[in-house]
Amino acid sequence: MSADKHTAGRQAKSAAQAARRQEKADRQRAKDDCRAAKRAAKQEAGQQRAEKKQQRRAQRAYEQAAQESKRLRREHDRAFLQLTAAMNDRQQQRLRSYFGQVSQHILLPREWKQPLLRDFERGIAYHLRRGQTLERTLELLDPLNLGGFYSSPASMWWPLDNAAKVYPISMSHDQMEVFRLSVYLREEVVPEILQLALDFTIKRFPFFATTVKNGFFWHYIDTAKRRFAVEPERTIPCAPMNVSLTGAQSFRIVYYRNRVSAEFFHILTDGSGGMVFLKSLIAEYLRLLGHDIPCGCGVLDINERPDPAESADDFAKAAVKGRRGSGFAGKPARQMSGYLTRTKPCQVLHFELDAGQLHQHARERGVSVTVYTLGLMFVAGKAATEENDGMFQIQVPVNMRQYYPSSTIRNFSLYCSIGLPVGEITTVDEILPRIASQLQQQGSRESMLEMMNSAVQLVNSLKYVPRVLKTALGKYVYGFFSDRIFSNTLSNLGVIELPEEMRPYIEKMDFVLGMSLTNRAACSMVTVNNTAVLSIAKATVDPTFEEKIYALLKENGLPFSLSGSELYGN
Amino acid sequence: MEINNTYPPLPPRLHRRRRLRTVCGWCFLASGAACIITNLCIGGKAWSAVAVWALWMIWSTLLTPVLVENNLISRSTRLLINTCVLLVLIDLTVSSGWAAFVIPIVCYGMLIAIGLIFFLNISKQRQNMMPMLWVVAGALVAAISAIFGFSLDSWPMIALAAIAAVILIATMVILRSQFFAELKKRFHR
């Protein structure tokens, strides 16, 4: 009995001990949980603090850059006054007569005339500070380069070309078809001279010196006689432009360190036309710096009269009457995974490759550089897609100038679509033959002609529909037909030719496409001076796509360097 | 993957306007819905139509301005049209009988303002004349309708028709061939 009691007591004691142990363990666990939660909260607070700190730093850096730019401008204005004060009477007389000539070329309202005159003052001050003689400076900045552009009334206007008609209809406050071409110089950009180069160059491209207007049936572009400004780069690449104000420009020229970028609203031109403008601008910039740059290789003579063929809508000319087109509709393509960012593009990346090696690499596989790059994109796209079904479609713009003799600088490109089922995308080498054959077939003259006929037919069928109705429907239709049916884009501008005398001053170029509504990435490529730059504009923070491209390039033994922007937010 | 940053620092509050638009959009939607529901619940006159239109006016004028041709003349024209619709709604739903008299006064007042904007800087505003011409055309059509369809007994309608005609004739005389060139641009196909 007593033994039983003893056993029961022991059991109760051990049960109590176990309960205490359990309680202790529970308390410990609760404490640990509490500590972990506190740690997480602390970490989160720390992260938030760091983010705020980073934001403040970015704000400070931005304000500093803006102040610096203002300070420099003030300094240049002061420098001009000091320099002219130190001149002798003859020089001052010469300068007065020079500005008289400049004034004669500018019959614009005061709000535009004053800044233009200031451009000349800044340009002269720059050269004089560099030790250039007054005579040589005035010779370089000859006001004859202004031509009659700023002294004649605005009378020209152009209907939008067939490809451009959709852009103003489909744009929204956050979405605009803008692309960017950049040239990297060997030296830092001189903003004063770049501004003068633009002042001189714009007259050669009269359809760029325009503003978008509303017609009853279609939008059109109307001449805007004003000073077109060069600005320091202060916003994300391919940011939407405000084209709504009187005389608002549809392109922007920005500079940052040694880079000059031209961003175009697609209604003006395509990549090839934009490149002609940028090359002519840079050639003029180099000339104003005192270098001898001839015309040719796509560099136009800025003092030549603009050829009407350059502003022609060659779609209408090249389309064949009565021939039916294939249409634009298609099944939705598989999109890459990753949340779409509100900021588009949220990041821009540039893979800088040796063009010779890249070409060699493609040739070893019996394909072109475009096909090889498409192969990389398909494999990287598959890696960035969680689904294993559906079609991965890549839009490839095709320059129609290769099929039709055309000297237009406006839009004259169409696109073809290269697609593979996601499940059938294996390795780059395995899919290249299929891509090559598709590209050959889809990008052929016949296919492009069909597409061009479709475009012309579509425009013709809508020509009596009031613009208000087109605009109301355009955004949705455009998103449905043109965006969702592709997963990605590759626009390869190819090898850019430059005059031999210009090459030493140019390091490289890049080409960035603006983002569409649902695609997570858009790729573009341009080659100059044996440097091929593959640019990726992104609309998702998910880095899988570019990481796979990075890994594939490494695997294939292609040396490259990677540059780009920070993440602009999500 | 190390990225060499070759882009400048950007202002951190890059999309302040867009955020404002999003927040206001939801607020406006909620307010509009609340007005309609309240109006339906308590019954009576359809005052919510006026409230919803007023919200739409603020939304379209301040937060989502048009993307092409958002100049002084076109803004004034849109404001005029929106105001007229608002006045008609007030007349129909709250208190009636005065709109036919008041709207022409508002119209000719605004037409004078638009005309001043146009004629004081004609070289710059020449490209923006179309919205003004739409208002002029609307005013003339309204006046002609009043003559043939109804009785033309209110002086504001006569004043509106006269001002519209003066603006139209003055524009044609001053611009001459440019006037027709402008019309050709606007109606191209």
Would you call A342 an interface residue with chain B, using a CB distance cutoff of 8 Å?
yes
Find all residues with CB under 8 Å of A441, minimum gap 6, and list them.
A447
- Provide the chain A residues 368-407 that lie in CB contact (below 8 A) with chain B: none
**B185 part of contact set with chain A, CB < 8 Å:** yes
- By C-alpha distance, the chain B residue nearest A60 is B11
Mean pLDDT on A120-124: 93
pLDDT at A74 over 80: no
Cβ distance B69 to A244 less than 8 Å, yes or no, reads yes
Question: Do residue B20 and residue B78 come from a single domain?
Answer: no
Q: Is A88 on the interface with B (CB under 8 A)?
A: no
| CB < 8 Å from B in window 40-79 of A | 55, 58-59, 61-62, 65
φ, ψ at A405 (rounded to 5°):
-60, 115
Cβ-based contacts of B3 with chain A (< 8 Å):
349, 562-564
Closest CA to A371 of A427, A425, A440, A420: A440
Task: Report yes or no: B45 at the A interface, CB cutoff 8 Å.
Answer: no
Which of A349, A350, A568 is opposite residue B10, by nearest beta carbon? A568
pLDDT computed for residue A191 by the predictor? 95
Q: What percentage of chain A exceeds 70 in pLDDT?
A: 94
Q: What is the chain B residue with the closest CA to A158?
A: B185
DSSP string, B128-160: GHHHHHHHHHHHHHHHHHHHHTS----HHHHHH
Which residue, of B64, B89, B115, is where some domain finishes? B64
- Whether the predicted pLDDT of B82 surpasses 70: yes
Q: Which of B4, B15, B123 sits opposite A563 (nearest CB)?
A: B4
pLDDT score of B1: 81
Chain pair A-B, CB pairs under 8 angstroms:
128
Stretch 137-156 of chain A: residues touching chain B, C-beta under 8 Å? 154-155
CB contact under 8 A, B8 and A234: yes
pLDDT band, residue A523 (cuts 50/70/90):
very high
Least confident of A248-252, A291-295, B108-112, B142-146: B142-146
Average pLDDT of A497-512? 95
pLDDT in tens, A137-165: 999 999 999 999 999 888 899 999 988 99
Of A13-22, A206-215, A402-411, which gets the smallest average pLDDT?
Answer: A13-22
Contacts of A543 in chain B (CB under 8 A): 1
Minimal Cβ distance to B4: which of A154, A562, A568? A562
Scanning A203-341, the segments in alpha helix (DSSP H) are 271-288, 314-318
Q: Of the candidates B8, B9, B188, which has its C-beta nearest A218's C-beta?
A: B188
Contacts of A243 in chain B (CB under 8 A): 67-68
Verify that B134 and B93 share a domain, yes or no: yes
Contacts of A173 in chain B (CB under 8 A): 18, 21, 64, 67
Whether the CB-CB separation of A122 and A76 falls below 8 Å is answered with: yes
CB of A106 closer than 8 Å to CB of A150: yes
Task: Note whether B22 and B89 are same-domain residues.
Answer: no
**pLDDT over threshold 80, residue A1:** no
- Please tell me the distance from the alpha carbon of residue A463 to that of residue A137, in angstroms, as a whole number: 52
**Whole-number Cα distances in Å, A466 to A167, A316, A471, B21:** 16, 21, 9, 28
Residue range A240-245: average pLDDT?
91
Q: Do A565 and B5 touch (CB under 8 A)?
A: yes
Q: Quick check: A2 pLDDT over 60?
A: no
Q: Are residues B122 and B161 in the same domain?
A: yes
Nearest residue to A177 via CA among A550, A427, A491, A508: A491
Same domain, B123 and B182: yes
pLDDT, residue A535, reads: 96
d(CA A454, CA A257): 44
Confidence band of A106 (pLDDT split at 50, 70, 90): very high
CA–CA dist A183, A193 (Å, integer): 16
Nearest CA in chain A to B1: A547
Q: Nearest CA to CA, how far is B151 from chain A (Å)?
A: 33
Q: What is the mean pLDDT of chain B?
A: 90
Inform me whether the pLDDT recorded for B183 exceeds 80: yes
Q: Domain residues for B17?
A: 1-64
Option in A171, A235, A563 nearest B10 (CB): A235
For helices A544-555 and A369-383, what crossing angle results, to 10°? Answer: 130
pLDDT > 90 fraction of chain A, expressed in percent and rounded: 61
pLDDT at B153 over 70: no
Using the predicted structure, report yes or no on whether residue A3 has a pLDDT greater than 60. Answer: no
Collapsing DSSP states into helix, strand and coil, what is residue A353? strand
Residue of A137, A109, A108 lying closest to A122 (CA atoms): A137
Q: Do B67 and A566 touch (CB under 8 A)?
A: no
- CB spacing of A213 vs B4 below 8 angstroms: no
- Phi first, then psi, for residue A398 (nearest 5°) are -120, 125
Ordered domains of chain A (ranges, CATH): 84-312 (3.30.559), 332-564 (3.30.559.30)
Is B67 an 8 Å CB contact of chain A?
Answer: yes
Closest CA of chain A from B104, distance in Å: 26
pLDDT in the model for residue A218: 95
State the pLDDT at residue A222: 94
In a shared domain, residues B92 and B165: yes
CB A238 within 8 A of CB A173: no
Cα gap A355→A495, rounded to integer Å: 9
Tokens 């160059």 correspond to what residue?
A201
Confidence of residue A522 (pLDDT cuts 50, 70, 90): very high
A569 reaches B (C-beta below 8 A): yes
DSSP state of A299: B
- Region A421-430: mean pLDDT is 92
Of the pLDDT bands very low, low, confident and very high (cuts 50, 70, 90), residue A68 is confident
Q: Cβ contact (<8 Å) for B125 and A246?
A: yes
Provide the strand spans (E) within A91-218: 157-159, 178-185, 210-214
Q: What is the DSSP code string of A515-564? A: P-SS-SEEEEEEEETTEEEEEEEESBS--HHHHHHHHHHHHTT--EEEEE
Are A507 and A257 within 8 A, CB to CB? no
Contacts of A212 in chain B (CB under 8 A): 68-69
Residue A326 has pLDDT above 60, yes or no: no
Which one of B34, B64, B94 terminates a domain? B64
Rg (CA), chain A: 30
Say whether B1 and A566 touch across the interface (CB within 8 A).
no
**A245 at B interface, C-beta within 8 A:** yes
CB proximity B5 to A under 8 Å: yes
A546 CB within 8 Å of a chain B CB = yes
Cβ separation B6–A236 shorter than 8 A: no
Is residue A522 within 8 A of residue A515, CB to CB? The reply is yes
Candidates B4, B15, B185; nearest CB to A343: B15
Predicted confidence (pLDDT) at residue B119 exceeds the cutoff of 80: yes
A279: confidence class by pLDDT, cuts 50, 70, 90: very high
pLDDT bin (cut points 50, 70, 90) of residue A396 is: very high
Q: Note whether B75 and B47 are same-domain residues.
A: no
The tens digit of pLDDT for each residue in A328-376 reads: 667 888 999 889 888 889 999 999 999 999 999 999 999 999 999 999 9
B60 and B132 inside one domain: no
> Which one of B5, B6, B134 makes the best mutation probe of the A interface by having the most chain A beta carbons within 10 Å?
B6
Residue A481, pLDDT score = 64
Residues B26 and B73 in one domain: no
Q: Where in A366-483 does DSSP place strands (E)?
A: 391-399, 413-421
B31 and B5 belong to one structural domain: yes
Domain count, chain B: 2
* One domain for residues B122 and B151: yes
**pLDDT number for residue B7:** 93
User: B140 burial class (0-12, 13-18, 19+ CB within 10 angstroms)?
Assistant: middle
C-alpha B87/C-alpha B102 separation (Å) is: 8
Average pLDDT of A170-192?
A: 93
Tokens of B37: 């529901």
Integer Cα distance of A402 and A400 in angstroms: 5
Among A34-48, A399-413, A431-445, A513-527, the least confident range: A34-48
Chain A residues near residue B64 by CB distance under 8 angstroms: 173
Do residues B144 and B165 share a domain? yes
Supply the mean pLDDT for chain A.
89
Whether residue A233 lies within 8 A of chain B, CB to CB, comes out as yes
pLDDT at B90: 93
- Where does the pLDDT of residue A327 fall: very low under 50, low under 70, confident under 90, or very high at 90 and above? low
Q: Which amino acid does the sequence have at A110?
A: R
Is any Cβ of chain B less than 8 angstroms from the Cβ of A561?
yes
List of chain B residues whose C-beta atoms are within 8 Å of the C-beta of residue A562: 1-4
Chain A, window 271-330: residues with a beta carbon less than 8 angstroms from a chain B beta carbon: none
pLDDT at A469 over 70: yes
Structure confidence at residue B13 (pLDDT):
65
A427 inside 8 A of chain B by CB: no
Say if the Cβ atoms of B18 and A342 lie within 8 Å: yes
